Structure 1
């Protein structure tokens, strides 16, 4: 049976610690059981799973989200290496709008992070050859894809490396800041 822990003071954000059963061969862990997750407030249907490899430590991916009606909840797990996983509450009207939480995920612990819909999500790798898998509740929709500036001073995220030492895509370097989401100008431009 897994252990479920609320994290970061953001409603719905849950760290899941699957129980590992080990012996001389290694270990076995049940990483998802719908009934157990539902009993802890994670009652959703995952429709797509994704797998990502980042070859170099200091690779940052994010902060990404999909606009409604294609907003995705995610169940994230690091399966090789380690990473700093960061989420930002972008739910309109939320009392914690603009606040973020971060948690280290690693293959060594096998912990998973459940991220509800309405959060921007990103991560920075802490080791070379870090791999992440995540299941989502909505299919990937290119027209709904959007992002938030990882280095927005208003967010105050403490990344593990200075921006000049991180590897990012060009697109991830140019997402708008939180103020554009607040005003609605950034979202209106891509509708």
Structure 2
């Protein structure tokens, strides 16, 4: 298993090794010892799966009170996945990074607590699975606008036009007005 640093401090790409032959392939996708040695969590409490059509944009979501770290994987399809550091005092506060994730590639994205997360579906459909480090907490659910001018996220929408967003996501807060997670501690 390869664990790769990304442009954002604490966000990691996890690439399990795939072993294949004419029958197909096998991969060990989770190993607590490997995760622990890379300072990644080894305990997850909830699995979430979504199905979305092309042009759907979900996010940018995060929780207060019970922040969730997310281990994200695309089961089928193709998405542009975005993490935004919302931790006050972090060297990367307000910065974002985008990741091209595909179901035919065996790759996970680790997004720690204190980050907003969202994705845009680029294929006809996509199924996304993510494990979380804490439970869904509706009272603490928050959203930063996907098109916040301060963040200036470059979403790959050339062939999509205007993305389909939920009513809740359409009225997300601007970063300058958002309630933010606990300050960053190293």
Q: TM-score, normalised by structure 1?
A: 0.89
Partner of 2:154: 158
Partner of 2:34: 36
Structure 1 residue runs of 4 or more that deviate by more than 3 Å after TM superposition: none
Partner of 2:122: 126
1:180 to 177, 181, 184: 177
Partner of 1:45: 43
Partner of 1:58: 55
For 2:24 and 2:165, how far apart are their aligned partners in 1? 35
Give the CA RMSD over aligned residues: 1.6
SS for the counterpart of 1:172 is helix
For 1:26 and 1:44, how far apart are their aligned partners in 2? 28
By how many angstroms is 1:26 displaced?
1.9
For 1:99 and 1:179, how far apart are their aligned partners in 2? 13
For 1:44 and 1:36, how far apart are their aligned partners in 2? 9
2:110 to 111, 114, 117: 114
Q: TM-score, normalised by structure 2?
A: 0.92
Q: Deviations over 1:43-86 (max 9, x none)?
A: 342100011110x2111000000113x00111000010110000
Partner of 2:70: 74
For 1:75 and 1:11, how far apart are their aligned partners in 2? 16
SS for the counterpart of 2:169 is coil
SS for the counterpart of 2:139 is helix
Unmatched 5+ stretches in structure 1: none
Partner of 1:21: 19
For 2:9 and 2:42, how far apart are their aligned partners in 1? 16
* Structure 1, 20-29 or 74-83: larger mean CA deviation: 20-29
SS for the counterpart of 1:158 is coil
Unmatched 5+ stretches in structure 2: 182-186
